[in-house]
Amino acid sequence: MIRALSLLLAATALAGCGQQWSTPPEEAATVDGAGEAGVKASGEEVATFGNGVKTVTSDAGVEATVARLEAALEAGGFGIVARLDHSSNAASVELDMSPAVSIFFGKPEVGTHLMRAAPSAALDLPQRMAVYQDAEGLTQVAYNSPLWLASRHGIEGQEQRLEAVAGALEQLAMAAAGKGPGSAQKEESDSW
């Protein structure tokens, strides 16, 4: 099952290699440096890219960061759907790669509403976070901006829910990265 899911994810990633994605208006660069785009421009801890990926640099290695993420998810009442260890999968075919793990998780009471609004959102749900070692040896926690996903799939009428998801994802990433209190994400994620 995990191998099949890995192949599906790889095929999906390869299919979009040449695709140019548009940047949602809320993530476009701003002159005054405010909001999410301001974070990108100022180079602070959370970065937003035109492809919808948000990243937080962790203060620990991949294994410890994944353990903190899983603990934060459990504390927040999220169901963990799958855990893919990409470097182990690479090693199984005698290839090397830096440590990288993807965790798929969610709350059906939230994701179902988003998929009912736009069935194609099933391509990107449940939510996932990737924890990986970058080229400089730093551990990164990465996830998709829910606002970008809404733009990608044309999700309308779910603004309040998407804002709650965005806040919960940021808190989960910060907790995994060791930059926030471990219990803070539970309070926010309850609004999911």
Q: How far is CA 138 from CA 49, 132, 178, in A?
A: 18, 8, 13
| Token pair belonging to 141 | 């926690």
SS3 30: coil
CATH of the domain spanning 57-189: 3.30.310.70
0.95 cut: is pTM over it?
no
Report pLDDT for 28. Answer: 40
Per-residue pLDDT of the chain (192 residues; tens, 9 = 90+): 454 444 444 444 433 343 333 333 444 433 333 444 433 333 334 444 478 999 999 999 999 999 999 999 999 999 999 999 999 999 999 999 999 999 999 999 999 999 999 999 999 999 999 999 999 999 999 999 999 999 999 999 999 999 999 999 999 999 999 997 643 333 333 444
Handedness of CA 127, 180, 136, 20 (dihedral sign): positive
In degrees rounded to 5, what are phi and psi of residue 26?
-70, -10
| Token pair belonging to 100 | 């990288």
What is the C-alpha separation between 151 and 83, in angstroms, rounded? 27
Report pLDDT for 180. Answer: 76
Q: How far is CA 123 from CA 57, 149, 153, in A?
A: 26, 10, 9
Place of tokens 């990633």: 13
Report pLDDT for 33. Answer: 38
Beta strand pairing status for 47-48 and 79-85?
unpaired
Torsion (CA) 153, 155, 161, 165 in degrees, nearest 10: 10
As beta bridge partners, residue 55 has 47, 142
**Nearest of 103, 109, 151 to residue 127 by alpha carbon:** 103
Report pLDDT for 181. Answer: 62
Q: Taking the domains of the chain in order of start, what are their residue ranges? A: 57-189
Place of tokens 């999700």: 155
Report pLDDT for 26. Answer: 42
Q: What is the CA radius of gyration of the chain?
A: 16
